[in-house]
Amino acid sequence: MPSDDSPSIENLLANNVAWARRVEAERPGFFRKLSAQQAPHYLWIGCSDSRVPANEVVGLEPGELFVHRNVANLVQLADLNCLSVTQFAIEVLKVSHILVCGHYGCGGVRAALHGDRIGLSEHWIRPLRSLCEEYRAELDALPDDDARVTRLCELNVLRQSRNLLHTQVVQDTWDRNQPLAIHPVIYGLNDGLLHQLSEPITSNEQGVALLHV
Ligand code: CO
């Protein structure tokens, strides 16, 4: 249950009415136009963390960003949800950019690093435990736990970007010369800034060369 100072659901619904009225007043016909067509150019694959609101972070309006979020922004080949979102975004909506966005201080990454007991999510973040083991020597050489979490958050974005690169849907996209760029980025909870972890990946060869995590 929310604490006493949390807004009630009635508050949220009232907020919604106020927001819809404000938007419509500022831009008459906004919702009517939006309901007729969805044509975003960008797909965001990010963490479910409430502190990383996808649209706000990149200054995009409703209708401009297609979004998939899960705990620790994983791209797994057996995840039909993530794969179908990606396929729909590329093949139907024709998005030409995918942001794979992690964030520093990610709870899922920290739990994987520490081996924390977090219920079902333990199964979900298992690939991160493996990543952690792969990079154990590099992580152990860092001065403290914060530095290890930070580095693992970055490695995670690069690994998930590489997983995305290896999906059939992305390979097929480049095979038919449909433009597509993958952008590995990480968000700073402390300063609200996105940092690029590599240059945009626009071909398989480039991805293989740059994403060796
Ligand atoms: Co997170």
153 is catalytic: no
Give the Cα separation of 38 and 68 in Å (integer).
16
Q: State pTM to two decimals.
A: 0.93
Asked if 57 and 84 touch (Cβ cutoff 8 Å), the reply is no
Using a CB cutoff of 5 Å, list residues around ligand 1, an ion: 47, 49, 106
Q: Nearest 5°: phi and psi at 64?
A: -105, -10
What is d(CA 153, CA 27) in angstroms, rounded to the nearest whole number?
39
Query: Annotated catalytic, 106?
Result: yes
Residue 58 burial class via C-beta count within 10 angstroms: exposed 0-12, middle 13-18, buried 19 and up = middle
Output the pLDDT for position 118. 79
Note the pLDDT of residue 117.
Answer: 82
User: Is 85 exposed, middle or buried, given 0-12, 13-18 or 19+ CB atoms closer than 10 A?
Assistant: middle
> CA dist 180 to 55, 88, 142, Å?
20, 14, 35
Q: How many other C-beta atoms can be found within 10 angstroms of the C-beta atom of residue 152?
A: 23
Cα(37) to centroid of ligand 1, in Å? 31
pLDDT for residue 211:
86
Ordered mean pLDDT values, 10 residues apiece, the chain (213 residues): 78 96 96 89 98 96 96 96 98 97 97 87 91 97 97 98 97 97 98 97 93 83
Catalytic residue among 27, 51, 126, 195: 51
